[in-house]
Chains A and B, each alone.
Chain A
Amino acid sequence: MKIALRVNGVLHEVDVEPRKLLVHVLRELGYKSVRVGCDTATCGACTVLMDGRPVKSCNVLAVQADGAEIYTADYSDEVMEKLRDAFKRHHAAQCGFCTSGMLTTAYYLVRRGVKSEEEVVEGLSGVLCRCTGYQNIVNAVKEVAGL
């Protein structure tokens, strides 16, 4: 089935098997920052923004996403660069496997205007990180969100 995806502003038209997960299609399109860490939609490593909301791209069929506007951790704009800078200074990434999911989720939170540390924590709760213990990630996001 032919579908269209706008990823980080770039339009892709691809022919996909209906059973193909969005995460696999994105990775095949070269968006390797979108990672797979589980098979139960738990880990959040595959999180992308789809039509303005964070979703787990391993839990969406590519055909469902037909026509969607998608942003991945490859994206660059002022907010994303600020997040990158803050992640670096706060040492918010270790092995880096969760980092794309953290960045996309954080991007959503900052854009939405999170108002408190609790909101940041709840907002990030769908992305598991095994390395950092989370504090540095939470602090990086708080900083960019002006909290």
Chain B
Amino acid sequence: MKYVGRPIPRVEDELILRGKATYVDDVEIPGMLYAGFVRSPYAHARVLKVDFSDVLKTPGVVAAFGPGDGEPFSFAPGGKVRYQGEAVAMVVARDRYVLYDALEKVAVDYEPLPAVLDINDALRPDAPLVDESLGNNVVHDKVYEGGDPDRALKEADVVVEGRFVIQRIIPSAMEPRGVVAAYDGDVLTIWSSTQVPFDVRKEVARALGLPLSRVRAIQPFVGGAFGSKLLVYPEEVWVATAAYRLKAPVKWVATRSEDFKATTHGRALTLEYKVGASRDGRILAVTGTVYADAGAYYWGEGLADTAAQMLPGPYDIRHGRVRAVAVLTNKTPLSAYRGAGRPEATLFIERIMDHVADVLGMDRVEIRRRNLIRQLPYRNVFGITYDTGDYPTAFERGLERLGYRDLKRWADEEAKRGRIIGVGFSVYVEITTFGYETAVLRAERDGSFTLYTALTPHGQGLATALAQVVADELEIPMESIKVYWGDTAYVGDGIGTMGSRSITAGGSAAVLAARRLKQELAKAAEALLGCRPEYREGVFQCGGRSVSIAEMVKAVYRGKAEAQLTVEAIYHAEPTFPFGVHLAVVELDPETGFVKPLLYESYDDVGVVVNPLLAAGQVMGGALQGIAQALYEEAIYDETGNLVTSNLAFYYVPTAAEAPRYEVYFAEEPHPSKHPTGTKGVGEAATIASTPAVIMAVEDAMRRVKPGVRIDKTPITPEDVWRLLR
């Protein structure tokens, strides 16, 4: 009875499909108060005065907090707001509708300041400063270097230069952020739509000077996050503080328009590159600068750096120098969005490969073939060591499995009938998994097990996947394991679900916990049975006698044997590296520039696949996000710093009608990671691989109309296509 590797439907679905899953807005506590925020209409302004006199007179209004209220109410730090939507005050009322009336009654005097919205402008010496204390708008600047890039460029047959711009993305999890906090005089409890309840607890406890043991953070069901809920946001601290001070439950749930400004954005990296290659297509050196449009606060640490360090991708490039620069602008702060630096690195290098191939007149498959890393483990030029895999084999098998050549031929046939089809592919290597994760496993009197994980699933189906790996380790039915997550009352500390790390870090922690618990119980079994037992399928046996886990646990409670019934495992994980080939087929309407994604296919070596049903779900959903980055979505600001795409009507999250058909494959002979689960992570693979595959497909289609056109930005909108084709 092995569960790992089987497409098992999710145990979470019982609640979700009956509408019984509790999201933060579903948390009800008698006496609930509602909090809301007054937010700056300006991108950059001094806050001269916040006047609550009107609002406090409004019936139903309970309290208001503003810049004058001191820590932790860090409204308008330094006396100014730095992006449209930054909070300047908070109002608490008895009713949601009354609250929104009240918010309009807070009088704020602003002195608008010139805003800086574009990284090029922000880098000018006379640019307005987002943060005066820095002296300029560069908040981070670091060079990654390896080999001798200058010599390699000099010796190269061709040097190719260019620039690629990746837009700002609004993560758009379907559930906006929200927080409920309640203080009963003893414990402060916070429910938050977050990926990081442990950090929320730490931050709130620190802000209020409370011991961690009296602060409990709960992650209820979360309606998607995609990296946009992995920071502790000020609202979480503010709402908790209000509940603590008012000794009443307080709820804040963002409206969508509010969320679009108050929740971090993603991507927004630009690469200026210069690469050297030999005539036969070997990339000798990659150099350049990655600029991050960091927004108003530098919350997105490491995004440009990850993009820089992973820029060589799956290719054997021995010389490199990439600068990672983060630039402040008067926009919503930038942070992680599904992939966080790796989709950008992959898009950049895949575009570079195509660019070099064009300059050399080389086939796009061939140039990759010539540069793929042959031997693993491999240390890339910036010092990152890729663990396991066989890239050349996976590449060839992948292209074959996905039918690349056949699809190209089919596109040729269709072209004869006047239908313009583009076929593109991408190759990626991804870095996943970092830090530690915690699992607590308890044996129950009836032989069932309770697993508490520090992971914070929000759609990934980890309660199912964790039950699978633990059931296999304990050789018991999955149904005997109940998985709880997202509550700091269960587990002391952990990190959470992000960065494709969950099943590898958290799953391995769970496996280790199961192993240890088995050892504990074996010790007790030995004492009971008087011989060293074997363990099989929930039963210890030796010398012709046996004892079940349930009997063991009861024996421990009765004092007949000694064992720990609850064990904790804290697993520290080294990074691991999935690899894959993805393919996209699009149809182009050359007159209008409209592009329709028809087919999306993937072939991934993600190590052990715990649950192919769930893994495929991650691939398809991730793919559509990357496709949307290629074709539809972009946060657009006007010249005053007003977010134009300020709600879901203006920001094009694709509907079912935009989605392609998907075919998902996993490598027949995967290369497991060295972690106990053997997994490498699959949550971001397709978000990473899909954008470059689609861009190549669109370019391929466009070249049937106009040879030689090149795409150097995302998204490529119908209007962009139309312009390029003119």
Residues of A that sit less than 8 Å from B by CB: 17, 19-20, 24, 27, 31-43, 45, 72-74, 84, 87-89, 91, 93-100, 103, 121-122, 124-138
CA of A103 to CA of B458 in the docked complex: distance in angstroms? 19
Q: Provide the main secondary structure of the chain A interface.
A: loop
For B22, B253, B255, B459, the residue with the greatest tally of chain A CB atoms inside 10 Å of its CB is B459
Q: Give 9 nearest A-B pairs by CB, closest first.
A: A33-B19, A97-B223, A95-B459, A133-B620, A94-B459, A96-B16, A38-B256, A133-B624, A42-B648
- B223 near A37 with CB under 8 A, answer yes
How many pairs of residues, A versus B, come closer than 8 Å at their CB atoms? Answer: 163
B2 to chain A: closest CB distance in Å?
Answer: 20
User: Which residue of A27, A31, A39 contacts B256 across the interface (Cβ within 8 Å)?
Assistant: A39
B320–chain A nearest beta-carbon distance, Å: 34
| Interchain CB contact under 8 A, B653 and A133 | no
B134 within 8 A of A: no
Sampled A-B contacts (24; CB under 8 Å): A32-B20, A34-B19, A36-B253, A38-B649, A39-B257, A42-B647, A84-B13, A84-B18, A87-B13, A94-B617, A96-B223, A103-B19, A124-B656, A125-B655, A125-B656, A129-B656, A130-B174, A130-B625, A130-B653, A131-B617, A132-B620, A133-B659, A135-B620, A138-B656
For the complex with contacts A40-B649, A130-B226, 19 further pairs of A-B residues with Cβ separation under 8 Å are: A37-B174, A38-B648, A40-B257, A40-B648, A45-B174, A89-B9, A93-B10, A94-B460, A96-B21, A97-B23, A97-B173, A97-B174, A121-B659, A130-B172, A130-B224, A133-B620, A135-B659, A135-B662, A136-B617
A103 in contact with B17 (CB, 8 Å): yes
**Given contacts A35-B223, A94-B461, A95-B173, A84 and B17 within 8 Å (CB-CB):** yes
Chain B residues near A32 (CB-CB < 8 A): 19-20, 22, 26
Q: Is the CB of A91 within 8 A of B617?
A: yes
Q: For B101, give the chain A residue with the smallest CB separation.
A: A19
CB-defined contacts of B17 to chain A, threshold 8 Å:
84, 87-88, 93, 96, 99, 103
| A72-B19, A121-B657, A138-B656 as given contacts; A130 in contact with B647, CB under 8 Å | no
Q: Which of A41, A96, A128 has the most CB of B within 10 A?
A: A96
Contact partners of A100 in chain B: CB under 8 A? 19
Q: With a CB–CB cut-off of 8 A, which chain A residues contact B23?
A: 35, 97
How far is A135 from B617 in the complex, measured between Cα atoms in Å? 9
Whole-angstrom distance from the CB of B59 to the nearest CB of chain A? 14
Which residues of B sit under 8 angstroms from A103, Cβ to Cβ? 17, 19
A129 to B222, CA, bound (A): 14
Contact string, B444-461, partner A, CB cutoff 8 A, digits 1/0?
Answer: 000000000000001111
Contacts A36-B25, A136-B617; A43 near B659 (Cβ below 8 A): no
Tell me if B623 is interfacial: C-beta within 8 Å of chain A: yes
Nearest Cβ on chain A to B153's Cβ, whole angstroms = 41
How far does the alpha carbon of A127 sit from the alpha carbon of B222 in the complex, in Å?
A: 18
Which residues does chain A contribute within 8 Å of B473, judged by CB atoms?
Answer: none
> CB < 8 Å: which of B20, B96, B648 contacts A33?
B20
Asked if B661 lies at the interface with its beta carbon under 8 angstroms from chain A, I say yes
Q: What are the residues of chain A within 8 A of B458 when measuring CB–CB?
A: 95
Q: B314 in the interface, Cβ–Cβ < 8 Å?
A: no
Q: Mark B227-263, 1 if CB is under 8 A from A, else 0.
A: 0000000000000000000000000010111000000
Minimum CB distance partner of B222 in chain A: A95
B521 in the interface, Cβ–Cβ < 8 Å?
no
Contact B224 A43 (CB under 8 A): no
Asked if residues A93 and B13 are in contact (CB atoms below 8 Å), the reply is: yes
What 1/0 mask marks residues of chain B from 1 to 38 whose CB sits below 8 Å from any chain A CB?
00000000110110111111111011000000000000
With A and B bound together, what is the CA distance between A43 and B175 in angstroms? 10
Closest to A93 in B: B16
Least distance between A94 CB and chain B CB atoms (Å) = 4
B621 within 8 A of A: yes
Inter-chain contact B175/A74, CB cutoff 8 Å? no
B549 beta carbon closer than 8 Å to chain A: no
- When chains A and B are docked, how far (Å) is the Cα of A35 from the Cα of B647? 17
Whether B256 and A37, one on each chain, are in contact in the complex, defined by CB atoms closer than 8 angstroms, is yes
| Residue ID in chain A nearest B27 by CB atoms | A32
**Docked CA distance A108–B173 (Å):** 25
Q: Most chain-B Cβ atoms within 10 A of its Cβ — which of A99, A100, A122?
A: A99
In the complex, what residue of chain A is closest to B256 when comparing beta carbons?
A38
Determine how close the nearest CB of chain B comes to the CB of A27; give it in whole angstroms. Answer: 8
Q: How far is the CB of B626 from chain A (nearest CB, A)?
A: 10
B725–chain A nearest beta-carbon distance, Å: 28
CB-CB under 8 A for A128 and B648, given A74-B18, A135-B662: yes
Contact A121 to B226, CB < 8 A, known contacts A36-B25, A94-B461:
no
Check A96/B656 contact, CB under 8 A, given A40-B649, A131-B224.
no
Whether A135 pairs with B655 at a CB distance below 8 angstroms is: no
Q: Find the B residue at minimum CB distance from A133.
A: B620
Interface string of B172-214 (1 = CB under 8 A from A): 1111100000000000000000000000000000000000000
| B395 touches A (CB below 8 Å) | no
Cβ-defined contact, A88 with B9, below 8 A: yes
Contact with A along B47-62 (1 / 0, CB 8 A): 0000000000000000
Within 8 A of A (CB), among B144-196: 172-176
- Within 8 Å of chain A (Cβ to Cβ): is B613? yes
Taken together as a complex, chains A and B put the C-alpha atoms of A73 and B21 apart, in Å, by 12
The distance in angstroms between the C-alpha atoms of A43 and B722, with both chains bound, is 29
Chain B residues within 8 Å of A88, by CB:
9-10, 13, 17
Complex Cα spacing A122 to B656, Å: 7
When chains A and B are docked, how far (Å) is the Cα of A33 from the Cα of B23? Answer: 10
A135 CA / B176 CA spacing, docked (Å): 24
Contacts of A36 in B (CB 8 A): 25, 253
Expressed in whole angstroms, the Cα–Cα distance for A27 and B253 within the complex equals 14
A59–B517 Cα gap in the complex (Å)?
A: 53
